[in-house]
Amino acid sequence: MNQFHIEPSMLATFGGAFYPTGYSMVMFPDAKDAARVGQQLMDAGFDAQDVMLVPPAIVLSQITPTVSGADDPLPSAGTEGATVRALTELARKGHAGLLVKTHDEDTADRMMKVVREVPYSMAQRYRALVIEDL
C-alpha cells in the first residue's frame, strides 16, 4: 500500500479540484480500519500501487487546497467542489481515506465487498464526468 501524494492527473481540467478519474475514495471514521481494509484489498488481489492510504492531515494539506479555484471564474456545473468540501469536513473530524484504482464497475464492486465489512463514512467513485456514490 502506498502513501498518497496528489498528482496533476488527479485534478479536474477546469477549476483544478481533486477529481481522480478511475479511482474511488473511501473515508473511514477509524484510521486503523482504513489501513486494515487497504491490506485486505491487496490480499484480495488489488495491486499495492493501486491502493493509497490518505491520512486526515494529507486530505487537509493536499486535497482541500484544490477546491480554492473550483468555482473560479464561474461556479462549477459539477459536484467536485462539494465533494472536496465533504472530504475536508470528514478529515477535520479525524477520518482517514483510501484512494483505490477502480477502472471499471467490477473492480469497484470487488472493492466495496471488502469495504462494507467495516464502518465507512463516505465512498465515491470518480468516473469521467460523474462522481458516483458507492
pLDDT tens column, 51-60: 999 999 999 9
Q: Which residue has the higher pLDDT, 126 or 119?
A: 119
Instruction: Look at residue 134 and give its three-state secondary structure.
Output: coil
- Average per-residue pLDDT for the chain: 89
In the chain, the largest separation of any two C-alpha atoms, in whole Å, equals: 45
Going by C-alpha positions, the residue among 38, 45, 41, 83 that lies closest to residue 64 is 83
| CA–CA gap between residue 92 and residue 133 (Å, rounded) | 21
Q: Return the CA Rg of the chain.
A: 14
Span of 14-28, 40-54, 61-75, 103-117 with lowest mean pLDDT: 61-75
Q: Specify the pLDDT at position 70.
A: 47
Domain assignments of the chain as residue spans, ordered by start: 2-133
Percent of the chain whose pLDDT exceeds 70: 90
Q: Specify the pLDDT at position 132.
A: 65
